[in-house]
Structure 1
């Protein structure tokens, strides 16, 4: 698999800025959550979603034997080391120690990222050391045949 153009990924992600937060939604300008943002960027950069996303809990403290979100991303994206992630990378955050990774963001620069956050909607903010420490997984969007 080849990588999608990172500038195209960042531009697609930024086009969602200001979209209100809505749990389990993925409609630009109408509402989305963090996974819905990633799904929307996928549709813009790669194409149709490869599989339906089942309902999921909002519990950032959820524990379990499987990293379901990381497994899903790994099935269709290019896995990279979190420390190698740069602009255009999809990152998964482990919000609590020993919990599974449940929050999604897209890096927009060496020190910034975009994500959907409850009450704030889709925002871009600094990737502070506190946020960076929570990155558990990183992935790159694949390139589509037509040059995406």
Structure 2
């Protein structure tokens, strides 16, 4: 596994236990799924490549476009869904026909770290339920 992948997995695991807070990205204090990815990015590279706009919980449905995947594509490296590796960012859609709006970081072939509304950041199994909802996979760039 490459050094950036090892670092991404380690960084994601440091967020475990951080409470869920919409739009936040402060380790140990609060984050949402995007805040988790933003925090890992900051640990890997320093400052974030762009400022995330304010967003409501229904932002993806309201916009009706793949805004999260578009933003990821500006800064991360697209990968095939069936080629996800530890350290990759996974983006899920809750239901067919809706834009993808949940992100996680793969830590092992069948485990991921994510922030979910109503729970603290946790490392969980990448079950068949999650795999059916996987819409995009991105790698952190090697720098």
State whether TM-score is above 0.5: yes
CA distance in 2, matches of 1:101, 1:85: 17
Mapped partners of 2:142, 2:63: distance in 1:
32
Q: CA offset at residue 142 of structure 1?
A: 1.1
Q: State how far apart, in whole Å, the 1-side matches of 2:40 and 2:56 are.
A: 21
Cα distance in 1 between the residues matched to 2:61 and 2:105: 22
* CA offsets 1:47-96 (integer angstroms, 9 cap, x no match): 21011100122138716552111010001110111111110000100111
TM-score in terms of structure 1 length = 0.90
Structure 1 residues 80 and 117, CA, compared in 2 at 3 Å: closer, same or farther? same
Q: Does 1:72 align with 2:71?
A: yes
Give ranges in structure 2 of 5+ residues lacking alignment: none
TM-score normalised per structure 2: 0.93
Higher helix fraction (1 or 2): 2
In 2, Cα distance between the equivalents of 1:40 and 1:22? 13
For the aligned residues, what is the CA RMSD?
1.6
Distance 1:106 1:31, change over 3 A: same
In the other structure, the counterpart of 2:30 is 31
Helix, strand or coil at the partner of 1:99: coil
Deviation at residue 46 of structure 1 after TM alignment: 2.0
After the TM superposition, which segments of 4 or more aligned residues of structure 1 sit over 2 Å from their partners?
A: 63-66
Q: Distance in 1 between matches of 2:111 and 2:90?
A: 12
Residue number in structure 1 paired with 2:43:
44
User: Which range is displaced more, 49-58 or 21-30?
Assistant: 49-58
**Other-structure match for 1:107:** 106
**Structure 1: where are the runs of 5+ without partners?**
none
Closer, same or farther: CA 99–60 of 1 in aligned 2, 3 Å: farther
